[in-house]
């Protein structure tokens, strides 16, 4: 969430920047500011009343000690009156704060100044591309046929045991999964990230912390009996490690890498987008997370972008990087790069990673801060990205590397798979 201070100091900036995300903030900002004013004056009045009540209580104690109990009586009455008054004030304050908060969380994060204006994915800016689109010929099969041909991923079995979108990986398919996970984790570790293995279920507070709740509840699987949610990404448990944490300046940056299963209900998805491995309810992903000082976060974003690029290059897949336009960005992001690999048989670009700087938007909600040597606290900047999500990488590897003899494994991965071809 945005800081109310910013709204107070520069409401016009907020309104102008949010136009880039096609968000009309005027009315909301105005309401918030007027509630904020009421909140502050109520707070001041309540503080004064409490201070008075505290003074009286102290002198009552003094009188008892001096044996002047009778004189204390009328003071007791007075204090009791003040007490009822503050109780009402406190209720008002709670209500106003809650109302204000409900409005503040409706404001998206401000996009970075470099974010292109636009409505949809068509307006995204291609900032980098690499690799040749392979000619796999007219006989090329899409991955959902290849997995059957080589019997490496079984959707029907998943349907039987669980349901749609929960496939079984089998034989070389399972080994390829395991190899990719290890490859991504090791590359992350080499780049200075600390590996974590997080819980796959989180409590409600954590789901709020990263913004899945309250509005994206329908996208998560839940375990209502225990009040848990299955994580849609490792970002949730990993980022929540740092909820309510104040770092010492010298303990930053934090760089974490984590593999996890991800569970997404994907309610409302349909069509060619969801065919085969393109969209699953359970999938595997390696996630990188950074926590940075404010002035370093954009440099960190570029670092992460380079890291993800190097992964895809080592897998020898043709890819491009797009900078998302205002209309295509997520609610919480200030700047996002999407990575898309080309799927030769489907003849389309598949999103395999999304790397974002959230600046202080998540940190403000989570109260994640760092203390400078001078003793001042600042909100940290948080960043995360997939490095990488497996299913679409697997789809692209299968489709792009199909040959008459089988599917070849890129060199960088052979050490991990233990085989060079799926046949």
Partner RNA sequence: GGAGAGAUGGCAGAGUGGUCUAUUGCGGCGGUCUUGAAAACCGUUGACCUUCACGGGUCCGGGGGUUCGAAUCCCUCUCUCUCCGCCA
Q: Which residues bind RNA (CB under 7 A)?
A: 40, 43-44, 46-48, 50-51, 53-54, 56-58, 60-61, 64-65, 76, 79-80, 83, 246, 369, 371, 375, 377
Asked if residues 321 and 338 have their Cβ atoms less than 8 Å apart, the reply is: yes
Beta carbon nearer to RNA, 54 or 310: 54
- CB-based burial label for 245 (10 Å; 0-12, 13-18, 19+): middle
Alpha carbon distance 341, 319 (integer Å): 4
Task: Compute the least distance from the CB of residue 40 to RNA, in Å.
Answer: 4
Task: Compute the least distance from the CB of residue 208 to RNA, in Å.
Answer: 14
Beta carbon nearer to RNA, 58 or 348: 58
Asked if residues 252 and 370 have their Cβ atoms less than 8 Å apart, the reply is: yes
Beta carbon nearer to RNA, 133 or 205: 205
Task: Compute the least distance from the CB of residue 299 to RNA, in Å.
Answer: 25
Beta carbon nearer to RNA, 79 or 239: 79
Task: Compute the least distance from the CB of residue 381 to RNA, in Å.
Answer: 16
Task: Compute the least distance from the CB of residue 57 to RNA, in Å.
Answer: 4
Beta carbon nearer to RNA, 72 or 355: 72
Beta carbon nearer to RNA, 293 or 371: 371
Beta bridge partners of residue 341, listed in sequence order = 319, 350
Task: Compute the least distance from the CB of residue 230 to RNA, in Å.
Answer: 17
DSSP states of 338-381 = EEEEEETTTTEEEEEEEEEE-TTHHHHHHT-EEE-TTS-EEEPE
Alpha carbon distance 352, 132 (integer Å): 17
* CA distance readout (Å), 371 to 242, 249, 251, 290, 376: 14, 5, 10, 17, 5
Asked if residues 175 and 414 have their Cβ atoms less than 8 Å apart, the reply is: no
Alpha carbon distance 253, 135 (integer Å): 43
Asked if residues 230 and 223 have their Cβ atoms less than 8 Å apart, the reply is: yes
Task: Compute the least distance from the CB of residue 248 to RNA, in Å.
Answer: 8
Beta carbon nearer to RNA, 47 or 423: 47
CB-based contacts of 74, cutoff 8 Å, min separation 6? none
């Amino acid at each position: 969430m945005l800081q109310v201070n910013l709204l107070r100091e520069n409401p016009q900036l907020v309104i102008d920047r949010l136009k880039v995300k096609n968000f009309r903030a005027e009315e909301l900002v105005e309401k918030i500011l007027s509630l904020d004013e009421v909140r502050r004056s109520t707070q001041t009045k309540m503080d004064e009343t409490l201070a008075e009540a505290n003074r009286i209580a102290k002198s009552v104690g003094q009188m008892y000690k001096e044996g002047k109990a009778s004189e204390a009586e009328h003071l007791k009455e007075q204090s009791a009156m003040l007490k009822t008054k503050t109780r009402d004030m406190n209720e008002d304050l709670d209500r106003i704060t809650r109302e204000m908060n409900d409005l503040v969380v409706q404001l998206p994060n401000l996009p970075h100044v470099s974010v292109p204006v636009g409505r949809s994915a068509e307006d995204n800016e291609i900032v980098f591309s690499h690799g040749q689109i392979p000619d796999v010929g007219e006989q090329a099969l899409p991955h959902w046929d290849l997995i059957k041909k080589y019997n490496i991923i079984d959707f029907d079995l998943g349907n039987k045991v669980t349901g749609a979108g929960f496939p079984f990986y089998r034989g070389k398919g399972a080994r390829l999964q395991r190899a990719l996970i290890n490859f991504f984790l090791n590359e992350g570790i080499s780049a200075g990230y600390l590996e974590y293995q997080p819980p796959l279920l989180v409590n409600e507070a954590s789901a709020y912390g990263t913004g899945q709740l309250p509005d994206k509840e329908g996208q998560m699987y839940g375990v209502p009996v225990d009040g848990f949610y299955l994580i849609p990404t490792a970002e949730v448990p990993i980022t929540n490690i740092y909820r309510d944490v104040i770092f010492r300046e010298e303990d930053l940056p934090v760089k974490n890498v984590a593999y996890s299963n991800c569970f997404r209900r994907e309610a409302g998805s349909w069509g060619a987008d969801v065919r085969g491995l393109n969209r699953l309810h359970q999938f595997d992903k390696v996630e990188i997370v950074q926590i940075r000082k404010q002035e370093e976060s954009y440099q960190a974003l570029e670092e992460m972008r380079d890291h993800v690029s190097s992964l895809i290059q080592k897998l020898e897949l043709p890819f491009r990087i797009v900078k998302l336009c205002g209309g295509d960005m997520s609610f919480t992001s200030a700047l996002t790069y999407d990575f898309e690999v080309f799927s030769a048989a489907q003849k389309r670009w598949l999103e395999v990673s999304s790397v974002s700087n959230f600046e202080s938007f998540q940190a403000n909600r989570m109260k994640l801060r760092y203390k400078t040597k001078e003793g001042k606290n600042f909100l940290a900047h948080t960043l995360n990205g997939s490095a990488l999500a497996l299913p679409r990488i697997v789809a692209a590897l299968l489709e792009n590397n199909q040959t008459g003899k089988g599917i070849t494994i890129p060199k960088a991965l052979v050490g991990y798979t233990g085989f060079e071809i799926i046949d």
